[in-house]
Chains A and B, each alone.
Chain A
Amino acid sequence: MGKKLLIHNEHVANIHTLEVYKQHGGYASVEKAIKTMTPEAIVEEVKKSGLRGRGGAGFPTGMKWSFLAKPEGVPRYLVCNADESEPGTFKDRYLMEKIPHALVEGMITSSFALGVHTAYIYIRGEYFYVSRILEKAIEEAYAAGLLGKNILGSDYSLDLYVQVGGGAYICGEETALLESLEGKRGNPRIKPPFPAIAGLYGCPTVVNNVETIAAVVPIVMMGGDEYAKIGIGRSTGTKLISASGHINKPGVYEIELGLPVEEFVYSEEYCGGIWKGKKMKACIPGGSSVPIIPAELLLKTAAGEPRLMTYESLSDGGFATGSMLGSGGFMVYDEDTSIPMNLYTLNRFYHHESCGQCSPCREGTGWMEKVAHRLAEGHGKPSDIDLLWDIQKRIEGNTICPLGDAAAWPVASAIRHFRQEFEALIPKKEVAH
């Protein structure tokens, strides 16, 4: 049984209430931070912890925090990215729904560390009911003197609000999120300037994922060095994995980074193996944007080493033979899955979600959807596979935000590893000449 730091109380009755949450040690990090630590010391602990952004990019959180500009007389903001929309990812929803105070506590402690006095949780509109749960938790925290003026009798004050979105995957990209929070279309901004310099309302802003913020709580409690002892190398701490697809036990699992992938897939403690006694064909281990890889390469690297659930191990071999840990959206496909049809669902997704700002993405995602659809339906032409490859190549790296890359990589990896399956779907008479 691995160590759990975030959802260890997931099955405690009424853990969503402040009373029960506090009975289980909740809000101790706020107490410790405000009464015994300086903001700088907290940032230092987060740096030492090696915590990396849990939304998908894996950027070191402490470093992101230290970039925050602090000009005199200018407000700065902490914005929590709860726009969880990456296909295959539902861990933040689970955390917020089950233990909403874990996020509220993280927001208070993090805001104190960053010298922030107004913070927002931007949650995807589809999670409207979760926003109700969060608002209730926030209300309880205000009533307990954990939010508002003079928190716990100190001279530190913080207001925390929840903002619902309107339904747009792109708002998970931090600058699009900020645009949306300002009441606009979610078009990503050109960077630089980065949000740490000019974010919400042009003020210095940190945007962090839900799980990242929640992880600040155990880091403050145990200290950065202790936290960094969990995991392997630069993959420190625990990670929430959203497991779905053709497995016996879909759900959210907190793992210690470093767990062997094979154990995660087949042990009863986690996914419980492939459903209906079938074999695993492929897996997208980190949310739909990361490369799909065949079962053999998921379990073992090209060099034959057991693959581990870490940022480094899952990406070992680069895109030729590896994938990425990403958001931890772990999607498993059984032996009967049509890879081209699955790709088509993803192409359709990215086409639907492209904001339309950059032409390679706006046009290219539509083309890819169309071509993948006819291939998957068995009406493809022999030239279609190369055409798909060509389109994704022209999108990758040529857009303002990473949605372009995210749309391209699933296509490239599906063709790289499963080309024969695409070829087999092309009508025979077409192949003959």
Chain B
Amino acid sequence: MSSQKNIQFSEEAMATVNKIISRYPEGKHKSALLPILHIAQAEFDGWLSPETMDYVASILKIQPVEVYEVASFYSMYNLKPVGKCLLEVCRTSSCWARGADDVVNYIGKKLNIKPGETSKDGMFSLKTVECLGSCGTAPMMQVGASFHENLTPEKIDTILDNYRADGRRRSYTDMDYKNTL
């Protein structure tokens, strides 16, 4: 997982990339960088390796450093490998007030990992994040494109069981999202 060779978008991903680039005026294609990085992360094992970032730079015909400086600024781009399901638990004010710490502790104990770590089987990584705009349904966590809200220990059990049974890597770009609004 740490060294990646033959980085190349699938035909489908490439079509999406080209569609995104066409949204911006002539010569302003760099605007497509953030959305393309999301696609790259989803396509290439859930993180942005230097090879992946160089590849994105070559597609947009910009300098690799222009990609690195952006990827390192935003919190959603993983610059290191993560588990198939990145469990992002919100812990800012309202989530904290309604038990975010309990959620983090419960998941940590259940999977025997701390925030920033990945379970031995590579299935789950735990991350604490700042406000995700789900304050009215706190506590909550994001997994790929899905928001899991009003969390309880029982709910967390079911959610993790389902992801484990499914076994797929989850990405922000997934079309099959769950949300509880």
Contact = CB atoms under 8 A, between A and B. Distances in A.
Interface of A: 75, 84-90, 92-94, 97-98, 118, 120, 124-129, 132, 159, 161, 163-169, 180-186, 201, 242-246, 250-252, 284, 288, 329, 331, 333, 337, 341-342, 345-346, 348-349, 352-353, 355
A122 to B, nearest CB: 10
Nearest to A87: B131
B97 interface: yes
B75 A167 contact: yes
Nearest to B133: A90
B91 interface: yes
A243 B31 CA distance: 35
B72 to A, nearest CB: 9
A346 B130 CA distance: 9
Nearest to B171: A128
A165 B34 contact: yes
Contacts of A250: 135-138
B76 interface: yes
Contact of B135 (A90, A346, A355): A90
B76 A167 contact: yes
A27 B80 CA distance: 46
6 contacts: A93-B181, A128-B177, A183-B31, A183-B70, A244-B138, A245-B93
A331 B92 CA distance: 11
B61 to A, nearest CB: 12
Contacts of B91: 345
Nearest to B147: A129
Given A85-B133, A129-B177, A348-B130, 20 more contacts: A85-B131, A87-B131, A88-B131, A90-B133, A120-B23, A125-B34, A125-B172, A126-B132, A126-B172, A165-B74, A166-B34, A166-B74, A166-B76, A167-B74, A201-B25, A245-B93, A245-B97, A331-B94, A345-B91, A352-B75
Contact of A242 (B28, B93, B135): B135
B147 A352 contact: no
Contact of A169 (B37, B130, B175): B130
A246 B32 contact: no
B138 to A, nearest CB: 6
Interface residues of B, number: 46
A349 B145 contact: no
Task: Pick the most buried of B33, B92, B132, B134: most chain A CB atoms within 10 A of its CB.
Answer: B92
Contacts of B173: 128
5 A-B pairs with the lowest CB-CB distances in the bound complex, closest first: A166-B74, A167-B76, A183-B33, A244-B135, A167-B75
Contacts of A185: 69-70, 73
A93 B92 CA distance: 17
Contacts of A333: 97
A108 B146 CA distance: 29
Contact of A251 (B28, B32, B136): B136
Contact of B133 (A93, A118, A201, A353): A93
Given A97-B179, A181-B31, A166 B137 contact: no
B94 A244 contact: yes
A342 B97 contact: yes
B101 to A, nearest CB: 10
A235 to B, nearest CB: 23
B118 interface: no
B114 interface: no
Given A126-B132, A129-B179, A183-B34, A245 B94 contact: yes
Interface of B: 23, 25, 28, 30-35, 37-38, 60, 66, 69-70, 73-77, 91-94, 96-98, 130-138, 142, 145-147, 172-173, 175, 177, 179, 181
A349 B92 contact: yes
A244 B35 contact: no
B111 to A, nearest CB: 22
A272 to B, nearest CB: 13
A228 B9 CA distance: 53
Task: Pick the most buried of B25, B76, B97, B132: most chain A CB atoms within 10 A of its CB.
Answer: B97
A182 B136 contact: no
A89 B145 contact: no
Contacts of A118: 25
B38 A166 contact: yes
Contacts of B131: 85-88, 169, 288, 349
Contact of A164 (B30, B35, B138, B142): B35
Nearest to A337: B97
A201 B26 CA distance: 11
Contact of B76 (A93, A126, A242, A355): A126
Contact of A126 (B60, B77, B133): B133
A288 B33 CA distance: 30
A342 B70 contact: no
A186 B130 CA distance: 17
Contacts of B66: 183-184
A378 B107 CA distance: 26
Contact of A163 (B34, B77, B136): B34
B135 A87 contact: yes
B171 to A, nearest CB: 9
